[in-house]
Amino acid sequence: MQHATITLSNFGAIAGIFATPVVTPPQVAIVGAGRIIEKVIMRDGQACGVKALPLSITFDHRACTGGEAARFVKVLVEHLQQG
């Protein structure tokens, strides 16, 4: 792989949930997808089980701020929820 800016890592395929990916230049960020887990959430005052995809992100502060990274993750989550 050459000249990557954002890399996707699927460590969930080997049973991982969260990770701390390491950014190596020229990458700006790595988004890691963990194993889908079952979570309990409250919906309308009732506990119910949902499936959740844990995401981990590491980014280079020289290329973007924490706010920019958070907005990127928010949009990514919104797109994943539509699917």
Catalytic residue numbers?
61
* Residue ranges of E strands in the chain: 6-9, 29-33, 37-43, 46-52, 55-59
Pairing of strands 46-52, 37-43: antiparallel
